[in-house]
Copies of this chain bind each other. A is one copy, B any other.
């Protein structure tokens, strides 16, 4: 049989509105679960998701600049600045003037910052791990493939750039 029983990735699938709607709802409800555990931790600390995201990506790319973080998070510098200021004041993030370009500020987590990052990502990874194990390795591959296909090109570049850090 030509085309065969194992459809290739770019086969023209028949996708009903219902199937697609279910996917949309799955994203909605799953994202709630995805953020639920960190949110609980953050609530006690008077921090929000914005702080979590900043801490996450600074941990991921130590020494990243404000501008780079801005682009990854997709917010204005004013919005990010408020969050960063709080984190610096609370001693979770360290600010270092660039050596090559002294206009730039390189961002690092302090030990306390790394501690918070651990707490938050432990919680989030626990849920992710449980979900991955429940679904199985093939499902995980598919999960990642669909998510990557769902990103804007610009964001996929940034996502890939992060991936290459520790491969």
**Given A22-B144, A27-B31, A143-B23, A149 and B131 touching (CB < 8 A)?**
yes
The interface on chain A, measured as residues whose beta carbon lies within 8 A of the other chain's beta carbons, has a size of 67
A152 to chain B, nearest CB (A): 5
A79 to chain B, nearest CB (A): 15
* CA distance in complex: A22, B144 (Å): 9
A133 contacts partner chain B, Cβ-Cβ < 8 Å: yes
* A121 near B30: Cβ-Cβ < 8 Å: no
List the B side residues contacting A124 at CB < 8 Å: 24
List the B side residues contacting A125 at CB < 8 Å: 17, 20-21, 24
* A34 near B27: Cβ-Cβ < 8 Å: yes
A134 to chain B, nearest CB (A): 4
List the B side residues contacting A33 at CB < 8 Å: 150-152, 155
A45 contacts partner chain B, Cβ-Cβ < 8 Å: no
A112 contacts partner chain B, Cβ-Cβ < 8 Å: no
* Extra pairs beyond A20-B128, A29-B159, A32-B151 (10, CB < 8 Å): A11-B133, A15-B133, A18-B167, A23-B143, A24-B34, A25-B162, A26-B144, A30-B150, A132-B146, A139-B143
